[in-house]
Structure 1
């Protein structure tokens, strides 16, 4: 219900802001809001050639393309004049996101179709894990710990193995694998849910832990920093791990208190301390490596472990091939069945993803989000928050809405202030240590057709805020 109201509020407020802007002459044309593409210049006026400055007229007429660009300072936008059939169209600024209609199209072509491909492959692998008995063995091993975190899940339930694989994939920065495992976990948890329209406690806990985004190898962030010529692209790795780990612990404690989980369990504390120890030990090891060693380690660990999971699944299935015979099927046919289920899941979640993305597109292109972002930065700057932090806030504010949008702000921050500046590094930490909350809710709950998400959205946004505060503190400590 909360998510539905929020989605409606985005649409209504954005449309109202656009219409008011049109009638108050803030916008010359609102066509870009509906049909424009991200990065394209925005039409702000159209005049007859004789009505523009003489110097600009001369420059346009001398140009073979009948265009002229007025270059401005780096912090402002260029102005482009395009002459065609007696009138001159004037463009200034660039579009922040695809328009509503192109976004609806790209959500299918650029997002859902690739996602369906990932879902098909990894759901095929997961079907092999199920039939071969590997998922059952994994669930038995982890049941004692998961029984403390998810008390409503029966012992040795298959959802335990799916959640484990999802957490492991996120931990290693394997987004393409994490989503199929997570969707399979949600579907498995839905089987235990008595009220099919209402999120269960187990589903909420899983979603919030997933959203905290505990990451060991932030490969994409390191890649972006390397592309921007950072002196040490991997220097944000440790702050990213610490920030995401704090967010994960916060999610567990906050949701656990809401669900009255027993935190005094010895086994739960032992597992938690073991996880903390393992992360600290790995961090110490990585810290002993030189620049080339860190780059080599981060570039290969995730890929090797993913191949190991796939290889283990295939070998384990081959060794236990008799179980496939008992089910009157073969390994390959089992893989095809799983892939087909992944395809169906991808088709089911498309409307949920498209609906959320077009709403966010409208919010960004209306200019309302920019005003909100600038307002928040203004308030923080007058509260004494350093300018280096407020320069990074657009990434933190946009991250729950759009991964691509926040990534653009992150790259812009590195290019404007430098990849080794405090603002550039903090932007990378913000990008790495949180999840695209609204997209994740739309995808995961949409896959099981849950309408009442209860307190999930509020809790996930609170965890995002904790990650932002932690990111600032950790960045201040390291840099």
Structure 2
């Protein structure tokens, strides 16, 4: 499946480039495609090298947490939920605590921590994989939950809005939270349907009900805060929690007579090996996405979408923000650039500008995450992972558009 999609990027890009040359007379399109190939190849290495330090640090921290026994306690606490969602994962397995730490980092908007922890979780799940090059059901569900994870603190989006002069930078906070929640729920439901996971279980419903109750309580609290206070509180909570977690691991491990320094070093060594190992997978995905974008194929898709919506007599305002939505599953930096361009073109507080910000926070970089996480463990057959991930993205995009008309129109 994945190899067909990868090939499809190149074929569609080439056809779009031919159309640009033969119909529009744009002979420079091929030069842009070649330049994009070189740029993306360099970017893949830069991203992987940039991950080395983060990977080494967080895997070192997790190693200390495992030595302290706290990670094992967390795994036992959440085992009842994960053993029902992922029957092939034994109760108390290290993958459970790794997945929990990763999803928690995503929820708090800690991207720098989430990626290393997510790769650690994928490696733990790989120890249970009877076919090392084929994704298991547990790995697929984890990937889908990761790419659609609810983000409570979209601090980066709020900061961009503030820098561009938004009257209320945090006005998009609740719409983003609603849209990303829909994405996560859709991802869980679709994957559960494909894998025939029984969600009508007392334990599963109890955990999900508790999570949504906490989410609603946080929405209620955040809605009472002004823009500046919301940003201050979200930044404070995120950073305080991450520092507190590190200190807790260190102190408890030390009290248990663990040599925290040596333990950290041993865990950190794995980070370098992992970051280097994902370069080929990251390179393959980024060059395909870069060529697809440089060929003008994305612009042609938007043109067809606008024509179709207009032919149906529907409002086309939301189409102006779709470059962000279409780019987000492909590239996080590309989607961010699209969001900024939309806010700059139509105004940061325009309907299109606010919708672009909501779309940026509602979905995740599915192709990038799939390439990094599966590449880290050598998985080549993704099975239904991409389809379920894109279904979650689609749900988040639709929810973002609906919520935008509800809040901003």
Measured after TM superposition, the shift of residue 22 of structure 1 is 4.5
Residue 471 (1) aligns with residue 407 (2): no
2:354 aligned to which of 406, 409, 425: 425
1:22-77 deviation digits (Å, cap 9, x = unpaired): 56642147333323xxxxxxxxxxxxxxxxxxxxxxxxxxxxxxxxxxxxxxxxxx
Between the aligned partners of 1:15 and 1:283, the Cα distance in structure 2 is: 46
Residues 414 and 17 of structure 1: CA distance in aligned 2, closer, same or farther (over 3 Å): closer
- Aligned position for 2:262: 333
Measured after TM superposition, the shift of residue 244 of structure 1 is 0.9
- Aligned position for 2:10: 11
Q: Kindly indicate whether the alpha-carbon contact (under 8 Å) linking 1:213 and 1:433 is maintained by their aligned counterparts in 2.
A: no
Matches within 5 A, 1:380-399: 380-399=309-328
Measured after TM superposition, the shift of residue 161 of structure 1 is 0.4
- Aligned position for 1:264: 200
Question: SS of the counterpart of 2:348?
Answer: coil
- Aligned position for 1:343: 272
Residues 298 and 257 of structure 1: CA distance in aligned 2, closer, same or farther (over 3 Å): same
Matches within 5 A, 1:41-440: 99-109=36-46, 111-321=47-257, 324=258, 330-440=259-369
1:277-320 deviation digits (Å, cap 9, x = unpaired): 11111111111223332221123221111111111111121122
- With 220-229 and 4-13 compared, the bigger mean Cα shift is at 4-13
**TM-score, length-scaled by structure 2:** 0.96
Matches within 5 A, 1:447-466: 447-466=376-395
Q: Kindly indicate whether the alpha-carbon contact (under 8 Å) linking 1:211 and 1:460 is maintained by their aligned counterparts in 2.
A: yes
Between the aligned partners of 2:22 and 2:397, the Cα distance in structure 1 is: 38
The structure whose residues are more often strand, as a share, is 1
- Aligned position for 1:82: none
Between the aligned partners of 1:21 and 1:244, the Cα distance in structure 2 is: 36
Between the aligned partners of 1:418 and 1:149, the Cα distance in structure 2 is: 44
Q: Kindly indicate whether the alpha-carbon contact (under 8 Å) linking 2:108 and 2:151 is maintained by their aligned counterparts in 1.
A: yes
Say which structure, 1 or 2, has more relative contact order (CA 8 Å, 6+ apart): 2
Q: Kindly indicate whether the alpha-carbon contact (under 8 Å) linking 1:204 and 1:456 is maintained by their aligned counterparts in 2.
A: yes
1:245-301 deviation digits (Å, cap 9, x = unpaired): 111111111111222222221121111111111111111111122333222112322
1:155-207 deviation digits (Å, cap 9, x = unpaired): 00000000000110000000010011110110000101111111101001101
The structure whose residues are more often helix, as a share, is 2
Q: Kindly indicate whether the alpha-carbon contact (under 8 Å) linking 1:243 and 1:433 is maintained by their aligned counterparts in 2.
A: yes
Between the aligned partners of 1:139 and 1:299, the Cα distance in structure 2 is: 27
- Aligned position for 1:30: 30
Measured after TM superposition, the shift of residue 16 of structure 1 is 4.3
Between the aligned partners of 1:220 and 1:472, the Cα distance in structure 2 is: 20
Question: SS of the counterpart of 1:296?
Answer: helix
Question: SS of the counterpart of 1:288?
Answer: coil
Between the aligned partners of 1:14 and 1:377, the Cα distance in structure 2 is: 20
Measured after TM superposition, the shift of residue 454 of structure 1 is 0.4
Question: SS of the counterpart of 1:443?
Answer: helix
Between the aligned partners of 1:253 and 1:9, the Cα distance in structure 2 is: 28
- With 365-374 and 10-19 compared, the bigger mean Cα shift is at 10-19
Measured after TM superposition, the shift of residue 412 of structure 1 is 1.1
**TM-score, length-scaled by structure 1:** 0.82
1:203-257 deviation digits (Å, cap 9, x = unpaired): 0110111111310000111011111110110111111111111111111111112
Measured after TM superposition, the shift of residue 385 of structure 1 is 3.3
Unaligned runs of 5+ in 2: none
How many residues align? The count is: 407
Residues 118 and 385 of structure 1: CA distance in aligned 2, closer, same or farther (over 3 Å): farther
Between the aligned partners of 2:346 and 2:92, the Cα distance in structure 1 is: 51
- With 466-475 and 373-382 compared, the bigger mean Cα shift is at 373-382
